[in-house]
A = this chain, B = another copy of it.
Amino acid sequence: MAQVINKRIILKNYVNGFPKESDMLLNASATIRLNLPEASNAVLVKNLYLSCDPYMQFRMRESKAGSFTPGSPIQGFGVAKVLDSRHSNFKKGDFVWGLTGWEEYSVINTVGFLFKIEHTDVPLSYYTGILGMQGITAYAGFNVICAPKKGEYVFVSAAAGAVGQLVGQFAKLSGCYVVGSAGSKEKVDMLKNKCGFDEAFNYKEEQDLDAALKRYFPNGIDIFFDNVGGKMLEAVLLNMRFSGRITACGMISQYNLEQEEGVRNLYQIIVKGVQIQGLIANNYLHMFPKYMEMIIPLIKQGKICYMEDIAEGLESAPAALVGLFSGRNVGKQVVAVARE
């Protein structure tokens, strides 16, 4: 089979702080053969959907381990179709999700983080989010770690993000009262009108976060699912109830600072007997079967609203990734490289 052009998004150099579009470039000079040599254990895929995630900025920085390689394609989670396979777990025509490259075609040599998609009667792009890492993150971080009880008061920060919108809906399914914060009117409307949050507010319009929280939670907060950290966490600590639980999932307010802000009010942890648990989603991958059993029927019955923000074409990927850090996206940011 002849070689074809393989367009790629290349990291030009290590990045300091939030990435800019100019830190990446579209390269259209590489070619690839669309079959694998006999002596291989790899899988050749055509990439369909790529996931844009906040953590990726850390892999763009120069650090000891896990950094991307300048001059090579960005790596991330994605959905792909198997074109050729020398690995017994996968065969031509399979749809898969897992770690792949920001390019049209990828040869995946290490399949430890590649999973065959069993349910193909739902949108395949969902495997970059609700049916992938963000799904298990929301499920483990809320349902498992926070062990919600009916009637509890739940607050979600960055609630319009890929994880936050799920946490809010899982909270409603658990019989909780849930309020989300987000950074625009459009996102607030989405949370209230589409995702079923009881209330939502735009944190940028609040002078005093503590006062805002007291307005929405006159009885205090039992569960806080935190994607933001910093001043929001500081204000939430003042409003936690006894035996409250906080899942620390992200701290996007801190990622672009030279030095992390100090957080006050930690003494409230002792006064109220609060638990804070840092969430490493990889520790919960064994729960995927249980999670899929819960989530697939909810999706098919239309009982979950899952908002995606799909950018078309590999060339749109740098802007899509960069947009995460200014909150441009509404819902899960995905890049559609190809539809099939």
Q: When the two chains form the complex, which single residue of B229, B262, B270, B276 contacts A261, counting CB atoms closer than 8 Å?
A: B262
This chain's copy number in the assembly: 2
Q: Mark A268-311, 1 if CB is under 8 A from B, else 0.
A: 11111111111110010000000000000000000000000000
Q: When the two chains form the complex, which single residue of B248, B254, B259, B272 contacts A278, counting CB atoms closer than 8 Å?
A: B272
The answer to whether A260 touches B266, judged by C-beta atoms less than 8 angstroms apart, is: yes
B-chain residues with CB within 8 Å of residue A327 when the two chains form the complex:
none
Chain A interface size, as a band, is: 20 to 34
The answer to whether B278 touches A277, judged by C-beta atoms less than 8 angstroms apart, is: no
Is A323 engaged at the interface, CB distance under 8 Å to the other chain? no
The answer to whether A267 touches B283, judged by C-beta atoms less than 8 angstroms apart, is: no
**How distant is the Cα of A274 from the Cα of B254 in the complex, in angstroms?**
18
Is A251 engaged at the interface, CB distance under 8 Å to the other chain? yes
Closest to A268 in B: B278
B-chain residues with CB within 8 Å of residue A260 when the two chains form the complex:
264-267
B-chain residues with CB within 8 Å of residue A265 when the two chains form the complex:
260
Highest count of chain B CB atoms <10 Å: which of A234, A250, A278: A278
- The interface of chain A, by Cβ under 8 A from chain B, is 229, 233-234, 242-243, 248-251, 254, 259-280, 283
